[in-house]
Amino acid sequence: MTLLGSFALWAAFLLGCWSAGLSFFGNWRENPATALAVRRGVYAVCAALLVATLSLWKGIFSHDFNIEYVWAYTSRNLPEYYLISAFWAGQKGSMLFWAVVLSIFAALAQALTSQRHKDLLPYVAGVTNLVVIFFVGVMLFAHHSNPFERMAVTPPDGNGLNPQLQNPGMVMHPPMLYLGYISITIPFAFGIAAMLAGKLDAGWIIAMRKWALASWIFLSVGITLGMWWAYVELGWGGVWAWDPVENASLHPWLVLTAFLHSVMIQEKRGMLKRWNMGLVVGAFLLSIFGTFITRSGVISSVHSFTQSDIGYYFLAFLLVSAILSFTLLYTRWPSLEAEVQLESLVSRESAFLFNNLALVGIAFSVLWGTLFPIVSEAVRGTKISVGPPFFNRVNVPLGLLLLFLTGVGPLIAWRKASMANLQRQFILPTAGFVLTAAVLLVAGLRSFYALMSLALAGFVMVTIVQEFQRGVRARMSMYQENIFLALVHLVERNRRRYGGYIVHVGIVIYFVAFTGLAFKTEKSVDLTPGETATIHSPFGYDYTLTARGVSQYVMLNRKVTAATLAVTRNGKRIGDIKSEKRQHMDSFGNDTFEPSTEVGIISDLREDLYVVYAGSIDGTERAHFTFHVNPMVSWFWIGGAILTLGGILAMWPGGPQVRTRRRRSAAQAGYSVPLAGVAE
Amino acid sequence: MTSSRRDFLQYAALGVLPMLWQGGAPQDTTKKPGGGVTPDRLGEPMLGGRLVDSTDKWDNDAGIIAIEQRLRCRCGCMLDVYTCRTTDFTCTYSPTMHREVIALVVAKKTPEQVIQAFIASDGEKVLMAPRASGFNIAGYIVPGVAVTVIGLVLAAYLSRRRTVAIAVGAGAVPGAPAPVSGPDQEQLDRLKRALDEVES
């Protein structure tokens, strides 16, 4: 299997080189057979990498511990679903995962893109192949990076998977995030292809729009799952720690979010072409930067893979990609001039521009904070740490500005808004803002940022409801539809727009959840079985926890020490909660890794009771616990689901273009609009 | 892991005893590994990692927690001392730092003096966020200033362009009829797009 895998890697590498060479230097414009060969080259690279992938999975599932990677990340008693995730648990496997997924996306881009954009496709193939070649090349040539590397002897059992990775969230979170990072290459490839081909009209935007949205959805899901994993697995009761690797996932997400907004201006008004090209290139470079951060060890992070020289390869690739991309952008600068100029400061285009500024500003701010320890050390020669207090202080005001602009954008008319338009549009959302703030002030909320966050959330929600309500009312009066049908048709007819509003609802919910979590309460206690402790929640409830004892047992691949508590809320029993210490072991019963903690959670829409069993006191059943009451946490997962749903709705096939064409052809029979001087 | 009937009876007896002893308080009766345990003692005390200290009044002290939340744990976990000591119970650094903080507070040091003492021993990297002084100010203000300045320049540029456009319009001779000219291609394209939008 390792021989087949290594052979497949070499085949992918050589085929990729050949196909990329043909893309950039072949005469495919004159000879359609060359264009076909380029396309087939992409498919062949994909096939070769699929063979390599299956070879590694075969090694994993057959417990071939002679393969170093299989030994390092699996063991005989590892549950099968974690054998799947072991594929991307380590550096080498994740590199292969990256390469194979990119090759699949590259093949899909070739197969699914309309032939209208056939002038771009060979260049797209060239760019995607170059990125694939880079990843395969690192596996083949970098020291200790080949996933098929064999060991001198075959150990009887493997090292096993890190206990913190033995969590359902870890089966889904890394691949989702990788899918997001990887799929950014496709919009980037279309951007570079458009510049190389000199076809800088809206064609490349139309060809890659859904890819950009897909990347954004994958990243959103990946980030949300990462938050969930951190919450249920790490035991600190939070969802976001501003760790450099977490931040690295946020950079491309923010830049892609900016792109998805500004691209609408290019489509509708022919503006911001240079900016959009810059954003696509930036998103790609930031995805590579994230990989560099994760794998180089240049910035310390709990998420990093082990330090290795692989980081230098990524740094070189990042620099070369940046230089080539921006040089190309510079040479095409005149061709990317806007077709029309912005007409008014008070217009939707302008609001989108400021929204872009806020998004890119936050991306810069997070990048700046991530790199500031290096900058500071270089300037002052002193090591510093940049943690959550820094990021919160810098980013909360920018986040609130973004939330405000999220509400403002849809309220302002395209081109130029009149005063009457502004009055009509803003009156209800402003009332929503004032009312929310007043209610919270009366309820006793005095934190300025929390107050602003929740009041702005009210503002944006009223904006969105107003947009839906106006659309539904218009349809009800125009087509005599009932409210439900009008809503369905409204969304169906303009999926991008209303899908976008649903995404905004998800974002608002995120803000509310983050604001709520700032009011968490915590308490450390020791309890002997039968003893009770009480913790007061921010919503005014009293949770009373009674220790029921500590039990020890063996389960699957681990020895478990479990502490159970009975829980009442304001005197009413709501169930039992259990937190565990797990000592993982190999199939011979030998301990592997440090003991890990599994938290116990009782969750509802208001708050989570979150219990961590810290350990035994004096080796007895008297146990040390940390209790947290975390408000609004469920809303992170609800917000994430709504956001994803909105994104999927926005990119769902069909929609207005198809219908527009159909209606136009029908309209020709009934009426015509004379347009003097407009060439059809 | 198989149990004999004798083991089973032993576990059952050991499970019933503590219930009798503690007046029927709910107890778990499934202590398997180790066997032969006393009622209140775990079969394998070290199975869940190192034994922990009893909680004292300082563990939940708001002042101590506020100080610890400003200090980074020395173990390299990237967490503050409070979060680390209440999260990663394998860490031996955060309990030590917790005791150091308590000792300084008991010695009547102010929170600022406690922080200074840690900076003196560990350097600035012990802080969760750099102090907003000297070069570090750049860390705090650069993003905000950049966004504000770019935003203001953008707003000024857009307003100026609008003013210029109005001034050009106002430059015509008062009372003279507006110059009649046909729509240019850009306007026609815009009109066509607008009509397309209406149709769709």
Please give the pLDDT value at position B31. 38
Tell whether A660 is within 8 A of chain B (Cβ): yes
Please give the pLDDT value at position A120. 92
Cβ–Cβ gap A553/B32 under 8 Å = yes
Q: How many CA atoms lie within 13 A of B64 on its CB side?
A: 22
**ipTM of the predicted assembly exceeds 0.95:** no
Among partner residues B26, B78, B90, which is closest to A243 by beta-carbon distance?
Answer: B78
Helix (H, G, I), strand (E, B) or coil at A343: coil
Please give the pLDDT value at position A285. 97
Please give the pLDDT value at position B120. 95
The share of chain B scoring above pLDDT 90, in percent, equals 39
Among partner residues A357, A383, A615, which is closest to B89 by beta-carbon distance?
Answer: A615
CA angle A437, A438, A443 (to 5 degrees): 95
Task: Determine the CATH number of domain B62-126.
Answer: 1.10.8
Q: What kind of fold does domain A521-635 have according to CATH? A: Tick-borne Encephalitis virus Glycoprotein; domain 1 (2.60.98)
In chain B, what are the domain boundaries? 5-42, 62-126
What is the C-alpha separation between B46 and B124, in angstroms, rounded? Answer: 36
Tell whether A353 is within 8 A of chain B (Cβ): yes
Tokens of A523: 């308490």
Tell whether A478 is within 8 A of chain B (Cβ): no
Residue of B nearest to A347 (CA): B158
- How large is the average pLDDT for residues B14-22? 43
DSSP conformation letters of A91-115: HHHHHHHHHHHHHHHHHHHHHHS-G
**C-beta separation of A520 from A242 below 8 A:** no
Please give the pLDDT value at position A304. 58
Please give the pLDDT value at position A2. 83
Residues of A in contact with B40 (CB under 8 A): 528, 620-622
Phi, psi of A96 (to 5 degrees): -65, -40
Residues of A in contact with B160 (CB under 8 A): none
Please give the pLDDT value at position B43. 81
- Cβ contacts from A onto B, under 8 A: 248
Q: Which residues of chain A carry a pLDDT beneath 70?
A: 296-308, 654-680
Please give the pLDDT value at position B78. 84
Helix (H, G, I), strand (E, B) or coil at A162: coil
B133 CA to chain A: closest CA distance, Å? 12
Please give the pLDDT value at position A531. 93
Q: What's the residue count for chain A? A: 680
C-alpha dist (Å) from residue A556 to A65, A70, A87, A625, B36: 20, 20, 21, 25, 23
C-alpha dist (Å) from residue A334 to A200, A264, A269, A327, A375: 11, 21, 18, 13, 35
Cβ–Cβ gap A525/B135 under 8 Å = no
Residues of B in contact with A234 (CB under 8 A): 87
- The string of pLDDT tens digits covering residues A620-672 is 899 999 999 999 999 999 999 999 999 999 988 765 544 434 444 333 333 33
In chain A, what are the domain boundaries? 1-166, 201-409, 418-493, 521-635
Cβ–Cβ gap A236/B87 under 8 Å = yes
For residue B111, pLDDT beyond 90: yes
Long-range pairs for A543-546: beta carbons < 8 A, 24 or more residues apart: A543/A567, A543/A568, A543/A569, A543/A609, A543/A627, A543/A629, A544/A568, A544/A569, A544/A571, A545/A577, A545/A611, A545/A625, A545/A627, A546/B26
C-alpha dist (Å) from residue B126 to A196, A246, A386, B69: 50, 21, 10, 11
Please give the pLDDT value at position B1. 40
Residue of A nearest to B1 (CA): A554
Please give the pLDDT value at position A680. 31
For residue B9, pLDDT beyond 60: no
Q: Whole-angstrom distance between the N-terminal and C-terminal Cα of chain B? A: 71
Higher pLDDT, B74 or B190: B74
Closest CA to A551 of A575, A534, A576: A576
Please give the pLDDT value at position B163. 55
Residue A431 DSSP one-character state: H
* Residue B181's pLDDT band (cuts 50, 70, 90): very low
Mean pLDDT for chain B? 74
Please give the pLDDT value at position A258. 96
- The string of pLDDT tens digits covering residues A102-126 is 999 999 999 999 888 888 999 999 9
Please give the pLDDT value at position A420. 85
Please give the pLDDT value at position A201. 84
Please give the pLDDT value at position A354. 93
Strands A623-631 and A596-598: unpaired
**C-beta separation of A287 from A216 below 8 A:** no
Higher pLDDT, B64 or B40: B64
Higher pLDDT, A412 or B8: A412
Tokens of B120: 């003196």
Tokens of A486: 């009008």
Please give the pLDDT value at position B195. 60
For residue B176, pLDDT beyond 50: no
Please give the pLDDT value at position A308. 64
Please give the pLDDT value at position B174. 43
- How large is the average pLDDT for residues B159-186? 51
